[in-house]
Chain A
Amino acid sequence: MAKGTATARPSGGAGDAAKRLFVKLGILPFLLVIAVVVFTLMSDNFLTPRNLMNVLRQSVYLMIVSLGQMMALLTGGFDLSVGTIVALSSVVGAMAMAAVFAAAPDAVWLAIAVGCLAGIAAGVAIGVVNGIGVAFFNVSPFMMSLGMASVGFGIALYLTGGVPVYGMPQAFGDIFGFGMLFGVPAPVYVAALLVVALYAFLYRTPQGRYFYAVGGNLKAAALSGINATGTLFFTYVFCAFFAAVAGMLLTARLDTGEANIGASMPLESIAACVIAGVSLRGGVGRLENVVLGALFIGLVQNGMNLARIESYLQTVVLGALLILAVIADQIRLRYVASLKD
């Protein structure tokens, strides 16, 4: 009886509170709760510390790529070449590392350092081209990154002939792929470091604010004395950097350089950002939410694995989630206009 009156009156009540929460936080908290409840019911092994650590480790790669993707989305573009960047950095990094290691088998750390630098440099090179095209030649980010995705993938395949690259030092995989410190996997530390650094940059420096400004209104930013072209350029360089780091970490995990990894990264990273409330129109989105968004996608994939849902169907679920998130974002915009604050 009391329940009936609570929902009938528009002011106050649970419905209104949920609406305010939805406007403030977006759809992600709701999806997270639903996912945890559903998967806990479906599998006893889901809500265990061991499995949750697994989820964290598996999500790390997507999370790092999503950090970069978020910057591209913030400035009103996106980067479809993140998958290719992951693959190219993996291939180039593995080849460089294997070559140095073969030439000087004792200098393990030198091989790892040279390999990582080479891999990241190869990935960033793609980003530099993307940045030049978008910032200086006004190519739409869609065409630019789609084109570069093809270019990068072609180079990666050409370099390897489609065969995995072996011959990296054992220590690389042992430390950066499977290493643990205080019970936490090594890649998680790398991701944490990147998240903290990017957070400080975006929210504590003027230049970080400029990424939001350029996405919020390019002309206004330029008239306010912001180097809009440079900001756009570095967006894609940073985005590529993050994807390349993810590529090297994946290489360590797989112990081989692969041209065929990362194909699902563009979709998944955009999904992670959009589910986290990053606007496709640019200028809106929070880093901490993107981290949660990537975790959420990892959580769903892990839960579906435990529930023995076929991998082909998992792809369907992921696509559906992305569309759901975009629809939710539209509904949210409508609510925002009515609530205002």
Chain B
Amino acid sequence: MSTSQAAVQGGGAPSSPSPLLQTIAVTKDYPGVKALDGVHFDLRAGEVHVLFGENGAGKSTLISILAGASQPSAGRILIDGEPVTLASVHDARAYGISAVFQEFSLIPQMTVEENLFLGAEPTRGGFTDRARIRRESLKILGELGFALKPEQRVDHLTRAEQQMVEIAKAFRSDLSVLILDEPTASLTNHETDRLFELIGQLTGRGVGIVYITHRMAEIQRIGDRITVLRDGRYIDTVDAKTASEDDLVRLMTGRVVGGIFPPIDLAAPGDTVLEVRDLTTPDEAVVQASMHVRAGEIVGMAGLVGSGKSELMQACFGAGPIASGKVMLRGRDITGQGPRRNIREGFLYLPADRRSEGLMMMRSVRENVALASLGIPPFSNGLVLDRAGETQRVTALAERLNLSPPRIERAVDHFSGGNQQKVMLARSLTRNYDLIVFDEPTVGVDVGTRASIYEFIVGLARSGVGIVLISSDLPEILHLTTRAYVFYRGGVQAELRAGELTEENVLAHFFEREAA
């Protein structure tokens, strides 16, 4: 890349060198929507530049333009001060720009190495050079410190491992700009540390990082500057080291917001709702786990991805098999009972992955909310649906949860992530439940919506519902639960009461304790 002729272009500050990558008044029109409206953005060599904003603020559109996946309707993109056209992802890669999107671009049936070199296979004499692919894959994976075998099939990997492959893919060619879209959403703490180390190495080499995240802790840890977008418009660029959480929330939402966690003003817990004794699953994702939940308390389930916290609750709910152990709901044995009966008896599990397990994306809000309660009033009289009653109830729930826009006949697919989550949460209000399990309820949800989800959960607990909150987000466990279990390798490592819920205490149990 030549940097010598860069100075001719106007627009940048005259004294400092041109930024690595810069957009000037970039606008993106979709029919009926302005996704980006004259956005300025610049990325310096060696910095981590965080893009921040609510869902639908235009972050995704901006990075897809930077990555060459879509083209701006107006505005210019400069690389090293020179205007360029990024007509395709291929073009962008030629300039050293690589992106790791939330939705993976991996072929599940192919191996890790085949995926790494997909579309850029080295050849010898017209045939793919398999030896070289293996050699270079090993080299890339080794450099990144990822414990992956090149010959493993991608669909046999966990989501976190797939994410590593996706990141490794960006490293196969020379890199000058790396775009990361919520890369830690499915990583464990250890993997996250590893990723941040890597980012440190890259910035040391002068690579610029565009980083999207909703997590404040990450911004403070690795961010250099933060650009805030709102409704497709550029709001401000601030220094990551000095900006406070409240500042960012104010910039992002345009209003002053206090702490995002509501006060936990719950009455003393009531009777035991759920009791699990020595539960083990056939694949040993859960081993001899015991726990209990009482009415009106919020029980946290902390632990690494794959520690068994989610699998345990799925097994209790009947969505996964049980090898041994006992599950009791209000003193009655429900071991091995399916979701259908559990829901009828007042036990609901709301899955973590709303797209693949929670919602019918092409169906309306109304149908999605009503789904689990179609057999009871006001949705039906048991035999025949009551469309008027259904519409009325769902409209009321949409209003209560501040669904935006409040159109219950619109397909869920056309709502933002936060609002999709609200649709799924609304299901918990269509019946009287005694026990509701929320599995990662705020993944990929913006701060504004997160606050209202927290408020919603506490409200449910206040009305006497027993709540289980499965979360990989430590602050959620610390600030939103009255008691927490920490999972490690399928078992309950520790039970922490309200007074013991500190970051050190929880983290101490994330990993194996060297027993004396």
Contact = CB atoms under 8 A, between A and B. Distances in A.
Nearest to A200: B384
22 contacts: A205-B384, A205-B385, A206-B379, A208-B385, A210-B374, A212-B363, A212-B367, A217-B356, A217-B358, A219-B356, A220-B351, A220-B358, A223-B351, A224-B343, A224-B371, A226-B340, A227-B340, A279-B362, A281-B362, A338-B31, A340-B32, A341-B410
A106 B501 CA distance: 87
Contacts of B33: 338
Contacts of A336: 411
B70 interface: no
Interface in B219-245: none
Contacts of B319: 222-223
B362 A220 contact: no
Contacts of B340: 225-227
A217 B407 contact: no
Contacts of B341: 225
A224 B339 contact: yes
Interface string B18-34: 00000000000011110
Contact of A225 (B32, B358, B362, B372): B372
Contacts of A212: 360, 363, 367
Contacts of A284: 362-363
B187 interface: no
Given A212-B360, A226-B371, A204 B343 contact: no
B502 interface: no
Given A223-B349, A224-B339, A340-B414, A206 B385 contact: yes
A167 interface: no
Interface in B327-356: 338-344, 349, 351, 356
A251 to B, nearest CB: 35
A339 interface: yes
A206 B410 contact: no
A221 interface: yes
Contacts of B357: 217, 219-220, 223
Nearest to A334: B31
Contacts of B384: 204-205
Given A225-B344, A225-B372, A217 B385 contact: no
Contacts of B339: 222-225
A221 B414 contact: no
Interface residues of B, number: 39
Contacts of B31: 338-339
B427 A224 contact: yes
Contacts of B375: 206
A283 interface: yes
B437 to A, nearest CB: 11
Contact of B371 (A204, A219, A220, A337): A220
Nearest to A217: B360
Contacts of A339: 31-32
Nearest to B319: A223
Contact of B362 (A204, A210, A216): A216
A340 B358 contact: no
Contact of A203 (B359, B371, B385): B385
A339 to B, nearest CB: 7
Contacts of B410: 340-341
Contacts of B1: none
B362 A206 contact: no
B361 interface: yes
B380 interface: yes
Interface string B431-444: 00000000000000
Interface in B21-60: 30-33
A226 to B, nearest CB: 7
A270 interface: no
A48 to B, nearest CB: 40
Nearest to B375: A206
Most central of B319, B343, B385, B410 by chain A CB within 10 Å? B385
A55 interface: no
B400 to A, nearest CB: 20
Contacts of B515: none
A213 interface: yes
Nearest to B32: A338
Nearest to B31: A338
A213 B361 contact: no
A339 B407 CA distance: 13
A9 to B, nearest CB: 14
A138 B387 CA distance: 34
Nearest to A339: B32
B131 interface: no
B168 to A, nearest CB: 29
Contacts of A224: 339, 343, 371-372, 427
Contacts of B363: 212-213, 216, 283-284
A203 B356 CA distance: 25
Given A209-B385, A220-B371, A223-B349, A341 B407 contact: yes
B430 to A, nearest CB: 10
Contacts of A216: 360-363, 367
Contacts of A206: 374-375, 379-380, 385
A209 B375 CA distance: 11
